[in-house]
Amino acid sequence: MIIPERRLAPIGIVLFVGILLFFFWRSYGAFLLPVLACEDGGIMLSYYNSHPETTEIFRFYAGYVSMLPNLIGYLTVQWIPLRLVPYALALYPLLLAAATYSLLLLPRFRTLIDNDIHRLGITVFLALMPHGLMPLVSNTTYSLWNLLLLLLLLTLAPAANSWQGRVIELTAMILAAISTPLSIVAVPVFVLNLIRHKGRADRIRNAILIVVVIIYLAVGTQSGGVVLLSNLLARIEVTWLYFLQRVLAESVLGYNLRLALFQSGQSWIIYTVAMTFCIGMAVLIDRRYRRFSRDSFINIGILLYYIGAITFLSVLTRQFDLDSHMGRLNVRYFYVQHVFVWLFIGIVVTKAVDWRQAARPLKVLVLALTFSYVGWMALEHLHLYRPNHTDGPQLAAFLADVETTRARLAPGESADFNLPRNCFDISLTYTGK
């Protein structure tokens, strides 16, 4: 079903607002009383408090420049009152996450899923599923994962029709590409799209992005953050096991159940679920391959490539071994892959099954099972989206004390403030004026 574009625009706005409100509700503690989780406290607030130079926007952290998060962090710390900094650093990733998920409803994603109703349903499903954890929607440092998701999603669709849309889209893709070295996985797809899409706007977009990513990898990453391709076969084997466990099985079973099975020594169940999934999808595609267009197969291939490439690079650059991240949280390293697994399922199911000819009881049953599954997954993983109830009040009291003491400093007098945390202490220094 194709929805007229004059109706699709307001539906898109409602979708964006709905996803935004859902993400807000799911992690409301991170927005009503922000905690500056993980690096946002020590690497954003503390760093840019003591390094106010504009050139620090280009600073390296963990071996690369994360341009847009750095820019947001710098502007927030330098321009916004201290008490509001935690709210601003939580608001930006929330808006980014909602906008990224809403992208799929754009008309040009009809090349991915031609039925607008199906695409809307898949978008809602993806937003409701617990792919990640709280910092991925409330942490500026970790926003690079949604930037990567945004970049890769846009490679699956042709360029915007209007020149204004093309400028906005290209700017967003460039900022996303220079915020994470994992943007390297998009380069082969940019090259493919140069051949695949014949329009001038598409070719210009992809050519520019190829150049941007190559320059970024040359000057925006450090060799110390890259692991040489030593023992390649062992790395491929580890990647395959992480793919089965933490990508496929975790997408279907959820983090909690997969972890419980792994810790109880029942990994054979995990691998059985993953292999059954692979065989089931392959059989479904084989039996209904005539319903898939050439573009559908290309898009499915690109999704599978992204899933494998990101998993391999995570194993390679983070030096995962067979046990190091199997039993740890670290959901962010598998976040984009989880989203793409379900997008892959959505494309295959909507293409392979003719829902117009399906019996009404079957449709009702499928919807009931889907809602039950999504509800169970969302509730089962709700704890991953809720901060420690003491962190927010502790941070608010600390920042209030800093502002009060800072106002009393005599000209030239300095004061240091420190808030110890489990990781990344917050350290601030102010001088009276």
Going by C-beta distance under 8 Å and a sequence separation of 6 or more, which residues neighbour residue 114? Answer: 2
Two structure tokens written together for 267 = 């990994």
Terminal CA-CA length for the chain: 64
Burial 223-245 (b: 16+ CB within 10 A, else e): eeeeeeeeeeeebeebbebbbbb
Predicted pLDDT at 324:
67
Are 417 and 50 in contact, with CB atoms under 8 Å apart? Answer: no
Residue 419 forms beta bridges with which residues?
Answer: 426
Are 274 and 253 in contact, with CB atoms under 8 Å apart? Answer: no
CA–CA separation, 333 and 329 (whole Å): 10
Between 144-154 and 85-102, two packed helices, what is the crossing angle to 10 degrees?
A: 20
> What's the pTM?
0.94
Are 73 and 90 in contact, with CB atoms under 8 Å apart? Answer: no
Torsion angle, CA of 164/167/168/170, rounded to 10 degrees?
150
Residue type, 291: R
CA–CA separation, 37 and 39 (whole Å): 6
Burial 168-194 (b: 16+ CB within 10 A, else e): ebbebbbbbbbbbbbbbbbbebbebbb
Going by C-beta distance under 8 Å and a sequence separation of 6 or more, which residues neighbour residue 126? Answer: 101, 104, 339, 342, 343, 346
Spans of all domains in the chain: 1-157+390-433, 163-226, 231-353
Predicted pLDDT at 225:
44
Going by C-beta distance under 8 Å and a sequence separation of 6 or more, which residues neighbour residue 245? Answer: 258, 262, 267, 270, 271, 274, 326
C-alpha closest to that of 316 among 426, 230, 384? 230
CA–CA separation, 384 and 138 (whole Å): 12
Are 346 and 282 in contact, with CB atoms under 8 Å apart? Answer: no
Mean pLDDT, the chain cut into blocks of 10 residues (433 residues total): 82 95 92 88 92 93 93 95 94 96 93 91 94 88 96 94 92 96 96 89 94 95 58 81 92 92 92 93 87 88 96 83 72 93 93 78 87 91 82 90 89 89 86 82
Predicted pLDDT at 391:
82
